[in-house]
Each structure stands twice: as C-alpha cells, then as structure tokens.
Structure 1
Amino acid sequence: MTTMIISDGCPPIKRLIKTTWVNGTLTRLVYLTALACITFNALAEPGDDIAAEMTRYYLSTVESCADGQRPAYYCSGLMIKNTRSRPGHYAWNPGRASTSSGGISFIYLRADTRFNNPDANKLNGFVLYPYGHAHPPIKKAPQVLCSFPLDAGTHKRDDKGCGDQFDTSAVETSCEALNIHTAEDWVDDHLKTDGALRKQCGFREVSGRFEEKGAQHFYASLKARSLLLKNSDQLEYDTFETPNKLRLSTWAENPDSLPIMAFFYVDDPYLGSGLAAAQQDQLDWVVENKRAYTPIIKITYPATMNEHAVFTFNQADQQVCPTYFDAARWVLKEGKWLLVVTPSACSQIVAMFNSQAASKELVALHGADAEFNVLPPGHSITEQFQCLASNDRNAAQWQIAPWRSAEGLTQAHVLAADCQP
C-alpha cells in the first residue's frame, strides 16, 4: 500500500480518502483540506501521519511563528539535509568539513520556495521537524546561522559558511552589514551582480534568539526567492533550478536532541533510487541506535513551476516497523500460559523482520502480567519470533511461550519444535 498526500485547495472541513490503482500500484490518495487543524489519527500507519504532516508544513507559508517572535522554520516548511552514505559513518553525524567549518548545509522547502531536485548527486537524506513541533519536544535544536535565498557555495565561505566566498575577488559579508533587511533590497543588490550566486549576501540574524528581527530577516530570504520567480522568464527558470541554502550549527555525533522527522529518498531517471541508502539509515537510527520509529518518505520534487512537491509513504519501503503486533492475549494450554499475538500488517511484509524489536515490544506490553511470570522466563522470545517470521510470516496469529528456553539450540532445533523449543 502506498500513500500519496495531495492538496486539493478546497475550503476546510472536507477530507476524502480513497484507494485506487496508480501505475499498477495500490495507492491511497489522501486529499487534505483544513490543513491548519487536521488530525491524523484516522490514517492507517504512523508513516501516513508523517507524510500528511510534511505536506501540511510544506503548504504552510506563514511569515513567522509565535506571534512574530520566531522565524517561520519553527512552525512551517521542511529543513532537508541531503546525505551520502559511506561505510562506518551514520548519515546524521557531521562530516569532516562540517566539523571543521562549524556549519552544516540544509535546504528549506515550502510551497512558496519550491524548486526541483536540489542535488541530483545525492538521492537520500533526512528531514527535521519544524522546531516548534518536534516530537518529542526538544530543549536545544541546532541554531540556524544564516539563510541564503539561493545556493551560495556555502562550503567555500568563512564564518561557518555564512561569510566571505573564497572563489571571488570581492569580500562578501552579511546582508545586515550591507544594510539589507528586506527581500526587495536583497533582489536589487543581487541583480547588481548579474545574479552571481557566489556574490550574494546571506541573512545572518535569522535564529530564534533574534526574536522579531530574526523572523523578519528569515522571511525576507524566503520572499526574495518569490520575487525572483516573478522577475523574468530567465530568472524564474534559474531560480527554480537552484535551491536555497541554510547553514545550521554543527552538532556533536549521535545527539539526543536532533529532531529527525523522516528519512527520505528520491528516484532519479538517470542516477537511480536512494531507497536502499534510506533503508540503511532507518536501520542505523532505529535498530543500531535504538531511537524511536522514524519512517522513510519518498519525496517527488516538482518538475515545473506549476507543480508541487509530493510526499509518499509506502509500507514496502520500510526496513523496520512502528509496531509488530496489532493485538496479544493470554490463553491457557495444557496448564501453561501462551501469548497469542496478531502480527501487524507491517510485520508481515517488511523486508527484514526485527525479532529483537518484536521481543522488546511484547515484553514491554506484557512482561509485568501475572501470566508472564507464573513460570520462570526462558529468554527465548527473540528466537521464537525469528523462527515464526522466517517460516510462517503470513499466519494470522502466532503463539509465543515466554517460559520456553532455546539455550544451546540452533535455529534448526527451534524450527523442529514448531518454533517453540
């Protein structure tokens, strides 16, 4: 099942959910209205919720948040980090260049700042929650250091990627230092350099600590793109082909407060798909680092100015499940208690069934039950799940005997005992 989230631009209140076939794939089309106040509990999976939430933030084009005291990225838009996988490195950790410079490059995607595929050489990455809507709430998020309306070669600038560009003879500085505080002033200055990307100034005072001024400067960087898109056919094309750029302060490795909303991938007709890399990132985050379930979302960037980005959750893309059971109940059989569990839809189709995560989920739900502790635990729930998932994945129900032991047994022995050694 695939979920595609589309806005129909209708008045609030109405919402239509239907299932259809698109290019041979069973797809759920979710038409969203009342985007500012919609709740997502009616959707089937947590990944559906995230795809819908991403769409809501994408379509929200507010100028500021918190009554004008916080920049728009606190409550709208999507901060996106394109990554490239390499052995021995988690995608969310800073690379050597970011550690050295003190800044990390992001793009900021909203309906009023749209662009096509921002980096065709990188097909996956992660998306941050708007800081004011992080789940769970965070005490300290990476500071947004500066915002450029267009890609500005930030990897070759000083001041954490916000200052002078090394490849030009001129000395670039912040917009504020040039007395540029509005989108109109920025466009005038940019056109004086014939639209040279490396010579543009960036808005430096855009973090939450600048309060109203920070909100105004960040929105000026967004509005400047909108003005360029309306300036001329050539500027419209050039701007649409060029993403914006934010620089965030570099964080320590494996931070507790990085508000990752989703891992994402794109499909490119020439370079292929980033799905496999996104799947590895999800495994690293959820399984290896024991973080909360975080879905993989496919992003389809607009091909033309008349289109919008689409965010798609597909259960078959996931490498881990948010939950492995829909239900579990105790039954007494031959004087001993068994748990009869109903596998979730995800657990029956996910490519790699995580028996350790399934065992942890079951023990968390029922480990304190009196039935669980009538007999000493056999510590074989993981082995039982591994056997059942490998040999009876599509069963409507599984039986788990918490008191059985698999000590000294191979998987062949467990299978020979009908997965209950």
Structure 2
Amino acid sequence: MARKGRFWLFIVLTLSVACTRQPSRPPQAQSAGDDVAAALNARYDDVRSACDGGQPAAYFCSGVLIRNAALGASYHFWNPRPDDEYYGVSFSYFRRDVGSRELFGQTAGFIAVPADRWSEDGGYVWQMKCSFPYDAVTSLERGPYGCGASADYPVDSRPCAEQGIVTTQAFAQHYLSVAPEPENPPDAFRRRALHQCSFGVDTFSFELSILARQGGRLEIPSRRYMELMIAEWPQDIPARLPIEAIFYAAERGAAGVEEARKGQRDFASATGRVVPIVKLEGNDAVPPFNYSENDQAPELRPR
C-alpha cells in the first residue's frame, strides 16, 4: 500500500505542475537567409585596407563581390559566358567607401563568399587578376583576362604599375587625360574606360584602386561601378563554386523576384544546395542587402 500511495502521489504532483505551466510559443529561429544578409551588410560596412596582419588584400575579408548574370539565359548563370574569348570574368565590388551600389547591364546575379573561404570543403579557388576603379569595358578585347591594354590605346592602357601610376593623383590625371573636365564630351565614358589602366590585386594595389575612385568624382554618372576581373573557371562545376547568395535589384520588383527564383531553382537542382535570395537596395539610407522569406521559391523556403 505504501508503494501504491507513493505512485499516486507522484502522478498527482506531476499533473499539478503540468497544469500550472503556461503554454508558450517557441522562439522564431533566425533563418540562414537572415544570417547571410547580415554578413553581407557587415562586409559592406567593413572598410579596412587589408585583412588581419596586413595580408592579404581587403577583398579576402571585406566588401562584397557581385556578378551580374542572366539567370534565365540559355546557359547556367554560374558558368562563364560560353562565347568569351578573353579568359576573364567581370565582377563588381561593393563596399561603403567605394561609393556606389549600381551595376552594369543585368540587375540580378550571384554573390561570392569572401575570398578567404573559397577553398573550404574542396571549393574552387577563383583567381583574382586585376581591379579597375571604374568600368573598363572589358567585354571588348583588353589583353589577358581583360586586364591588359585595349586596342584603342595599346600603350596608355597597359596596367598602371607598368606605367608608374602608383598614386591616386597620378591615376586621376591619367584617367581624365583623354576626355578632360569640364567639357565631358559625349564619348567621354568610352574614351576614359578604354584608356583606363588596371591595378593589381596585392594589398597595396587593391587598396589604391579603391582610393583612386575618390568617391566616384571622376565617374560618368550613368556608369557608377567598380570592376574586378577573375580568371575564367571551368564550365559546369556549380557544386564547387563559392556562391553565397543570389540577388536581384529592388527596382525590378516582382519581375526581379521571379528571375532570382529561376536561378535559385536552377542552382538547387544542379547542386542539391539552396542559396538564399537577397534584395539589393539602391537607397543609401538603408542597408544594401535584405532577406525576405517571401522572395524565396515557395518549394525551397525553410520549413
């Protein structure tokens, strides 16, 4: 009887405690997409001149490397253009001190993880080749990887270091010498772009390419972006590519969302990995990258 009494006392106490507990809703877990957007915004705000210890160049740990890509094109967006003949692939670089959130051409594409993580889990290590403070029209032949001299200026558009251009003042003088201010003739953009020299991607040279922008003062208003060149990588290796997110420009609205979803589905089908879609805000008053669960392809949303 004593054993039975203790048993029923245990049941009564257990039920009593359970009845006094208030039902609670578990906290909403932060999605991976929120974490990615937060990391992108943090790198955008990180304006260090070099990574820890002074090496390597800043793009290894700060800023955001972006590639415009036609997400619904006849070839997969993660591949270099099949008809490219120059062995270089163009990216844009976003950072607060670069002074621009604008992109050329397409208004959707993908974002790379920081360069210091490219080799993780057997990932393909992209080879950064050069940095242009401004658009350099690298779709036209510009020597190896799009970093060399243009056909229009075969001598004066050689890499900056070869010409002894190692200060911001020297770059500005060189950049404006073919279309001097304040005249700004109608073909000023093309002439300056093709006359522009490229900087290297060592710590000093890459920082100089950012400083040479001078907040975009030298830039044609309709062409406000910084251009970096990466060596062409092999076709059809999506699972090895260090892709962090897919983006669309906010001004595209619903059309941009649908384009981004095509890319998200395509990448997930090819790799089994879902990368988040983030919206790129052009308004400098708000953080540049924003994640919304509603932007994701419905069948790929977190559950």
Normalising by the smaller structure, the TM-score range is: 0.7 to 0.9
Q: SS of the residue aligned with 2:36?
A: helix
CA distance in 2, matches of 1:146, 1:47: 31
- Preserved contact between residue 93 and residue 228 of structure 2 (Cα < 8 Å): yes
- Aligned partner of 2:244 in structure 1 is 261
- CA distance 1:143–1:320, shift in 2 (3 Å): farther
1:255-334 equivalences in 2 (<5 Å): 255=237, 256-268=239-251, 273-286=255-268, 288-302=269-283, 307=285, 309-319=287-297
Q: SS of the residue aligned with 1:273?
A: helix
The reply on whether 1:124 has 2:124 as its aligned counterpart is: no
TM-score, structure 1 as length reference: 0.57
- CA distance 1:138–1:68, shift in 2 (3 Å): farther
- Preserved contact between residue 119 and residue 125 of structure 2 (Cα < 8 Å): no
1:209-288 equivalences in 2 (<5 Å): 214-226=202-214, 228-229=216-217, 235=218, 238=220, 241-255=223-237, 256-268=239-251, 273-286=255-268, 288=269
Q: SS of the residue aligned with 2:271?
A: coil
CA distance in 1, matches of 2:145, 2:249: 28
Equivalent in 145, 166, 178 of residue 129 of structure 2 = 145
1:133 Cα deviation from its structure 2 partner: 3.9
Aligned length: 264
1:168 Cα deviation from its structure 2 partner: 4.6
Equivalent in 54, 58, 69 of residue 68 of structure 1 = 54
Q: SS of the residue aligned with 1:85?
A: coil
- CA distance 1:228–1:311, shift in 2 (3 Å): closer
- CA distance 1:138–1:245, shift in 2 (3 Å): farther
The reply on whether 1:166 has 2:147 as its aligned counterpart is: no
1:94 Cα deviation from its structure 2 partner: 1.0
Q: SS of the residue aligned with 2:139?
A: helix
1:91 Cα deviation from its structure 2 partner: 0.6
Superposed CA RMSD: 2.7
1:289 Cα deviation from its structure 2 partner: 1.3
- Aligned partner of 1:84 in structure 2 is 70
1:142 Cα deviation from its structure 2 partner: 1.0
User: Once the two structures are superposed, what CA deviation does each residue of 1:251-277 show, in whole Å capped at 9, x if it has no partner?
Assistant: 1123243210100011336x9732212
User: Once the two structures are superposed, what CA deviation does each residue of 1:175-232 show, in whole Å capped at 9, x if it has no partner?
Assistant: 01001223332223223333612211011x31xxxxxxx1110010011113553xxx
- Preserved contact between residue 81 and residue 127 of structure 1 (Cα < 8 Å): yes
TM-score, structure 2 as length reference: 0.78
- CA distance 1:258–1:48, shift in 2 (3 Å): same
CA distance in 2, matches of 1:322, 1:70: 36
1:242 Cα deviation from its structure 2 partner: 1.6
- Preserved contact between residue 150 and residue 239 of structure 1 (Cα < 8 Å): no
Q: SS of the residue aligned with 1:141?
A: coil
- Preserved contact between residue 245 and residue 275 of structure 2 (Cα < 8 Å): yes
- Aligned partner of 1:358 in structure 2 is none
- CA distance 1:50–1:134, shift in 2 (3 Å): farther
1:135 Cα deviation from its structure 2 partner: 8.9
1:43 Cα deviation from its structure 2 partner: 5.9
More helix by share: 2
Equivalent in 160, 163, 168 of residue 183 of structure 1 = 168
Equivalent in 17, 20, 32 of residue 46 of structure 1 = 32
CA distance in 2, matches of 1:134, 1:43: 28
Q: SS of the residue aligned with 1:289?
A: helix
**Structure 2 runs not aligned, ≥5 long:** 1-27, 181-191
- Preserved contact between residue 265 and residue 273 of structure 1 (Cα < 8 Å): no
- Preserved contact between residue 156 and residue 197 of structure 2 (Cα < 8 Å): no
Higher RCO (C-alpha under 8 Å, 6+ residues apart): 2
- CA distance 1:171–1:310, shift in 2 (3 Å): closer
CA distance in 2, matches of 1:240, 1:113: 16
**Structure 1 runs not aligned, ≥5 long:** 1-41, 207-213, 230-234, 324-345, 348-421
User: Once the two structures are superposed, what CA deviation does each residue of 1:6-37 show, in whole Å capped at 9, x if it has no partner?
Assistant: xxxxxxxxxxxxxxxxxxxxxxxxxxxxxxxx
User: Once the two structures are superposed, what CA deviation does each residue of 1:55-81 show, in whole Å capped at 9, x if it has no partner?
Assistant: 001000010114122111100011100
